[in-house]
Structure 1
Amino acid sequence: MRLVDALWAAWDSLAAHKLRSGLTMLGMMFGVGAVISMLSIGAGAEADVMSLIERMGMRNVVVRAKSFDPDDLKELRKKSIGVSMRDVAAIEEAVPDIDAVVPRLEIEPYKILSTTGKTESAVFGVSHRHADLVELPLAAGRFFDRSDETNHAQVCVIGAGTARDLFGAEWPLGRRLKVNDVWLEVVGVLAAEGSEKAEVEGVAVASTEREIYLPFTTGLRKFERDPLESPLAEIVIRTGEDGSPREAAAAVDGLLNRLHGGARDYEVIVPEALLEQGQQTQRIFDIVMGCIAGISLLVGGIGIMNIMLASVLEQTREIGVRRAVGARRRDIRFQFLATSFALSLLGGIAGVTLGIAIAGIVASWAGWPTVVTASSILLSTGVSVAVGLVSGLYPAVRAANLNPIEALRHD
């Protein structure tokens, strides 16, 4: 029997029992839909984590000042002044395989405005090398340079959200904004980002949408700060090509522990380690969701086997007639396998549609990124067809092994 003829016969058989066929396909549909949606959510989450890690820098080590209550802060300052330029100098001198060490100063703004608007944004004083160490793509203009830092220039680079708040649809480059009592000229605008805030394994990764960057020296000289607060918000350390971020982090942690008198008023973050933790979490998620999807496919396979056994019973006399007119066992076996193949294939196609729909709903309603890949569609559909064929094998063998004479006598 030719494949095309077998498939047409399978289609006629399924069409003759539409409700039964539809109910049988539900298990495969939900299983494939679960696989598609699970893989798309997982791929989207992995891509999102990767983009956040790349923003922090895979070769970087970040020393971040911790926040404390005022009373606790007073006690800590008896031991340590916090993350400071002294730490920067010590790291540059004592830690091997380091390419760059750049400080980041956080400025507390009580007003940020322009002649046309106002905003609530974070303000940072950073080195001119900061953009080389972390991902800060520009949409327009430039990042400030060494001369701006040397001359304490009153210039800034702003996020896309800040630009909209302050200047609306107007071109922001060359315009002026006021942070506290200091006027700054906009020399660059950062590329827009999809989200305002995110985190990786509990570590916050701020969005640049509403951030303002100005030269580090300008921040030190022209803005006041609380003397109890840590002088620096962060220190970003770039390891060399042959250096290990984890080894550098261990060295930095030991050095700062001595410099701060044992006061843990800082944390050392290794983006590379965060990526591995995120991937481990993702693997656990994939295993759990894969088991759920596998159970759905198994239930679907049992449904196909059940319906195929019922079909064998219903078509016993027909099988006897076909055998009597010359059909071989392999023809009968092939016909029933074609029917189970058609059931699983149609269920798989419906499941792909369901999975893509679920991924879209999750992306729009929950705000989670989802990525539907061709490999996930091929994998889920292939598994669905394989389960269908395996489930139909026993009924097909049973039908082929029927005694023709007894089959003809069957009512």
Structure 2
Amino acid sequence: MKILVKNHFENATQALRANRGRTFLTIVGVAIGIASITMVLSLTGGFNHLFGDNSNQSSTPVAIVKSGNQKAVPNLLTESDNTTTVNTLTETDARDIGKIANTKAAPIAFLHAELRAREGKVDIQNAALIGSTESLKDVANLQIATGQFINDIGGVVVGQQLSVDLFGTERSIGNVIYIRNQPLTVVGVLKNIENQASYLDVNFNNAAIIPLSVIKKFTQGTPQIQQIIVTTKDHKNLNSVIKSADDILKKNHDSDKNYRIVSGEEINEKKSNVARFLSIILTVIGIISLLIGGIGVMNVMLVNVAERQREVGVRRAVGATGWDIINQFLIEAAIIGFLGGILGYGLGLAGAYIASLYLPLTPYIYWQTAVLSIGLSIIIGVISGVYPAARATRRDPIESLRY
């Protein structure tokens, strides 16, 4: 049996070498489909891994109180819920939640305004202006490169990239930023954050943070708080903290459930849904490409069968069974699928890493991805070779010898 399999393998490789150009193009067809699937799975894994860990960047558990009680619906046209949610949270809510034992709470109030300096300006599409309290430094794990963090007196803390964009330097302490013609002095610059993606929907490298008391001056005395970030010291206490926060909010809002409290995987549910939606679409495209590659394999095998009718006739005449003929052609198809899978997997990984240069994530490689990619290509190859192989055995051996 081993000798027979070895003989089939040698015959298959010889036949494929005899038509190198045709074989190579067929392998490339399979590789394109496998590369698409590999790239999608790797980038999706990196996306999920990034945001799955993002809400746990600190050593303490996190919960987020969000304005409005409507669950976010995945929308590819918006980056966050902040643009569509009615702001129902107040300073009192953040202050009362912060009084829970072993808990810190920081409100987040976004203000859409252009940031100007003498050296230049940054529009609202390229920078985030945030009103918050001193607690934000701890709950968001922010580190100061130079200067200090905000306090109730005033001042503004900027990200390193925003500092460079506005002042041309990372050392901008003492410089003045104008927000709606109101001057604010830079009192601190944040350390650069390598992982720019944030479960708070903020890129702190391009953010300006001012005290909540200051941002009220731009919103008629009432800060537009979109969310309150809550942290506690122990994961075991998170559920009890959430319950206490819920009780406080019910009391403050007269039992009007115009807020949501999310934690764990719920924090990044919208991003995960978008990633899942995109991965499904791209995977379908990859599967279609792979099926086209499979049709290419079938076409090549049909041509091989037509060109090798005399060879088939000779083998049948000397005692080869129909299964022997089928196995030989199936091995050829499997070899094409295997080589296409290896090439496609390599191209897919290369494509994923090239794409990651322009994305705030690193492809995450699962061993299952390699097994799935290569295994699927072999299966497609074998399935595509079944019909041509079966067709090779249908012709009468004597008639085949006339070719």
Give me the TM-score of the superposition, normalised by structure 1.
0.68
Residue number in structure 1 paired with 2:267: 274
> Per-residue deviation at 1:28?
1.9
Tell me, yes or no, if structure 1 residue 136 matches structure 2 residue 142.
yes
Equivalent of 1:321 in 286, 307, 314: 314
Residue number in structure 1 paired with 2:209: 213
Code of the residue aligned with 2:294 in structure 1: it is G
Code of the residue aligned with 1:321 in structure 2: it is V
C-alpha separation between the residues in 1 aligned to 2:191 and 2:16? Answer: 58
Query: Radius of gyration: which is bigger?
Result: 1
> Per-residue deviation at 1:134?
1.6
C-alpha separation between the residues in 2 aligned to 1:184 and 1:329? Answer: 83
> Per-residue deviation at 1:206?
1.9
Equivalent residue of 1:165, what SS?
helix
Kindly indicate whether the alpha-carbon contact (under 8 Å) linking 2:250 and 2:256 is maintained by their aligned counterparts in 1. yes
C-alpha separation between the residues in 1 aligned to 2:252 and 2:226? Answer: 17
> Per-residue deviation at 1:164?
0.6
Residues 3-402 of structure 1 mapped to structure 2, 5 A cutoff: 9-17=11-19, 20-21=22-23, 24-25=26-27, 27-50=29-52, 53-54=55-56, 59-64=61-66, 83-92=89-98, 99-104=103-108, 113=117, 122-124=128-130, 126-137=132-143, 140-141=145-146, 144=149, 149=151, 157-169=157-169, 172=171, 175-179=173-177, 180-186=182-188, 188-192=189-193, 205-213=201-209, 216=211, 220=213, 224-230=217-223, 234-239=227-232, 240-244=234-238, 252=245, 255-261=248-254, 268=261, 270=263, 272-322=265-315, 332=325, 334-352=327-345, 355=348, 359=352, 371=363, 373=365, 375=367, 376-393=369-386, 395-396=388-389
Distance 1:168 1:8, change over 3 A: farther
Code of the residue aligned with 1:91 in structure 2: it is I
Distance 1:393 1:372, change over 3 A: farther
Kindly indicate whether the alpha-carbon contact (under 8 Å) linking 2:109 and 2:223 is maintained by their aligned counterparts in 1. no
Equivalent residue of 1:209, what SS?
helix
Once structures 1 and 2 are overlaid, which stretch shifts more, 259-268 or 33-42?
A: 259-268
Distance 1:55 1:213, change over 3 A: farther
Residue number in structure 1 paired with 2:73: none
C-alpha separation between the residues in 1 aligned to 2:382 and 2:290? Answer: 12
Kindly indicate whether the alpha-carbon contact (under 8 Å) linking 1:83 and 1:233 is maintained by their aligned counterparts in 2. yes
Kindly indicate whether the alpha-carbon contact (under 8 Å) linking 2:147 and 2:187 is maintained by their aligned counterparts in 1. no
Code of the residue aligned with 2:385 in structure 1: it is G
C-alpha separation between the residues in 1 aligned to 2:168 and 2:190? Answer: 13
Code of the residue aligned with 1:59 in structure 2: it is P
Equivalent residue of 1:382, what SS?
helix
> Per-residue deviation at 1:208?
0.9
Figure out how many residues of one structure are paired with residues of the other and give that number. 374
Q: Deviations over 1:198-225 (max 9, x none)?
A: 797xxx71211222335x5xx6389845
Kindly indicate whether the alpha-carbon contact (under 8 Å) linking 2:65 and 2:260 is maintained by their aligned counterparts in 1. yes
Kindly indicate whether the alpha-carbon contact (under 8 Å) linking 1:62 and 1:236 is maintained by their aligned counterparts in 2. yes
Equivalent of 1:406 in 371, 387, 398: 398
Code of the residue aligned with 2:252 in structure 1: it is L
C-alpha separation between the residues in 2 aligned to 1:266 and 1:329? Answer: 71
* Unpaired stretches in structure 1, ≥5 consecutive residues: 67-80
Code of the residue aligned with 1:317 in structure 2: it is R
Kindly indicate whether the alpha-carbon contact (under 8 Å) linking 2:128 and 2:202 is maintained by their aligned counterparts in 1. no
Code of the residue aligned with 2:160 in structure 1: it is A
Equivalent residue of 2:175, what SS?
strand
> Per-residue deviation at 1:273?
1.0
Code of the residue aligned with 1:172 in structure 2: it is R
Code of the residue aligned with 1:256 in structure 2: it is L
Q: Deviations over 1:3-38 (max 9, x none)?
A: 777556434423444565456446523321321232
Q: Deviations over 1:345-373 (max 9, x none)?
A: 343345346545764776678x6857273
> Per-residue deviation at 1:337?
3.2
Distance 1:156 1:251, change over 3 A: same
Equivalent residue of 1:235, what SS?
strand
Kindly indicate whether the alpha-carbon contact (under 8 Å) linking 1:65 and 1:230 is maintained by their aligned counterparts in 2. no
Code of the residue aligned with 2:205 in structure 1: it is E
C-alpha separation between the residues in 1 aligned to 2:375 and 2:207? Answer: 47
Kindly indicate whether the alpha-carbon contact (under 8 Å) linking 1:319 and 1:407 is maintained by their aligned counterparts in 2. no
Distance 1:4 1:128, change over 3 A: farther
Kindly indicate whether the alpha-carbon contact (under 8 Å) linking 1:112 and 1:177 is maintained by their aligned counterparts in 2. no
C-alpha separation between the residues in 1 aligned to 2:390 and 2:287? Answer: 25
Kindly indicate whether the alpha-carbon contact (under 8 Å) linking 2:114 and 2:122 is maintained by their aligned counterparts in 1. no
Kindly indicate whether the alpha-carbon contact (under 8 Å) linking 1:108 and 1:225 is maintained by their aligned counterparts in 2. no
Give me the TM-score of the superposition, normalised by structure 2.
0.69
Code of the residue aligned with 1:46 in structure 2: it is N
